Each structure stands twice: as C-alpha cells, then as structure tokens.
Amino acid sequence: MTTAARQLDTTELKQRVQSMYEEVALEPEREFHFETGRPLAERLGYQPADLDRIPAAAIDSFAGVGYFLDLAVIAPGETVLDLGSGAGMDSFLAALATGPDGRVIGVDMTDAQLAKARRLSQEAGFAGAEFREGYIETPPVDDASVDCVISNGVINLSPDKPAVFAAAARALRPGGRLALADIVTEHQLPEGVTCDAALWAACIGGALQRDAYREAIEAAGFEIETWRQNSEYRFVSERADNATQKYGVTSISLLARRR
C-alpha cells in the first residue's frame, strides 16, 4: 500500500478527488465513472422509507459503494463520525438513528460537499448533524469520543489507509464500532493503475488487495466481525469496468470492533 502511495503524485490526487467530488456536489446529474443518486442507493439496500426522511438533494449526490447501516446498528444517544461524508446522506440517516440525544460529525475535505451538507442540514433542521472540514487521516474529533465510525466509498481514495484506520481507532471509545463500505481488489493492482490519479479518483486505483485491507484494519487495533461482498455495486465507464473485471475490483461492507 505504501509503495503505491510513494509512486503516486498525492498532490495531483488530492486535486483530482476534490474536483471530481465538487462536481458530484454541484452537478450530480452528470455522468461519472461511477453511479450516483437514489437508484444506486436503493439498489445497494437503502430502504426507500428511510431515504424519504432525509433531504433529497443529499441523495442526489450520494456516491457511496455499499450499504452498511444494518451492520452499524446505531442506537439513540450515540456519537457517530462519518469519514468522507460528502453531501451527507449517510450522516443524515445516522442522525435519524442517534435521535435528538446523539450527534453525528461528518468530515470531508471538499468545500462544495461540505457547503451542500451544511446547507441541507440547516434547511431540514438536522440539529444533531454537524459537518467539519478535515482529512479522514486526521479527523478533527477528540480521542475516544465516538461510539461508531462510518464511511462509504472513501478510504480507497486515501493514499495512507493505515493512517485512516489508526485515526478511526483513536476517535473510538474501546469497544466502539467501525462500519463501512469500500472498494477492494482480489488481485494487487499493477502500477499502471495505482499511479493513474484519474482511476484513483474514480475509486479504483487506490483500492487495496482485500487481505492487505483486512490486515491494515486489524493492525490498527480492530477485530473484524462481519465482511460481505456487495455484488449490486458496479462501475459504469468502460475503462473502469475493464479494470474491475481484470483485477476483481469489488465493493465490500464490514463491521469491525475496536479492541
């Protein structure tokens, strides 16, 4: 994983990721390498009745890769941290689960996503959902202050995945949960793919081989309790689909517990 990070231009990657997800926030109807919006969310397993209770514009900009809220089992009063919260769809759903006595902190590095999530939160009166600017490698939350860390389609975009899992462990109280959906591969991706910032920003180039992904989570102090493959997720462009077929790029959802 660090080999790929050394060879990739991480400054270019950050710019590409920010510009791609700025478009997802501002023009969600455009065509991307990946699907977005409500049809995707419903196919992945989100319940229409739940989606009806949150701002529709957050769902329009949904660019996640799997459903995992059934694994997270968020309870009333809990504190949830959403790493790479985007326009806020999962954060809003989590806020419904935490209720008025809990809180959800979404963290994202892209201004347009943050602005959209904050505006929608205010308009819809989601007082328990707050969106902070920051990096998923160094989220701006106190140590051991969170019950559940969630994330959807984001960690594959980080050039330093061990730092993300370490940050999640730091934020969680002992026994806290990490519930997420992300992209992994069956076979290690070749340099031609891992050094392509465009494929990386499209959620493919940065995907770790699945055993390495599991090891990175365990090394951060987690025990993986559930690991499942999301066959409903697919990439849409031909280029992305080719890499997907060749290297076994798949979406997974997992639940891990901090030791």
Residues that bind ligand SAM (CB under 6 A): 17, 21, 62-64, 84-86, 89-90, 108-110, 113, 135-137, 152-154, 157-158, 203
SS3 54: coil
User: Is the Cβ of residue 26 or residue 109 nearer to ligand SAM in the bound state?
Assistant: 109
Element (H, E) at 106: strand 103-108
Q: How far is the CB of 107 from ligand SAM (least distance, A)?
A: 6
Residue 61 contacts residue 120 (beta carbons within 8 Å): no
Q: How far is the CB of 22 from ligand SAM (least distance, A)?
A: 8
Q: How far is the CB of 194 from ligand SAM (least distance, A)?
A: 16
Number of H helices, E strands in the chain: 13, 8
User: Is the Cβ of residue 70 or residue 223 nearer to ligand SAM in the bound state?
Assistant: 70
User: Is the Cβ of residue 203 or residue 217 nearer to ligand SAM in the bound state?
Assistant: 203
Q: Which of 149, 148, 164, 152 is nearest to 213 (CA)?
A: 164
| Whole-number Å distance between alpha carbons of 190 and 199 | 12
User: Is the Cβ of residue 16 or residue 258 nearer to ligand SAM in the bound state?
Assistant: 16
CB nearest ligand SAM: which residue?
A: 86
Residue 231 contacts residue 43 (beta carbons within 8 Å): no
Q: How far is the CB of 257 from ligand SAM (least distance, A)?
A: 21
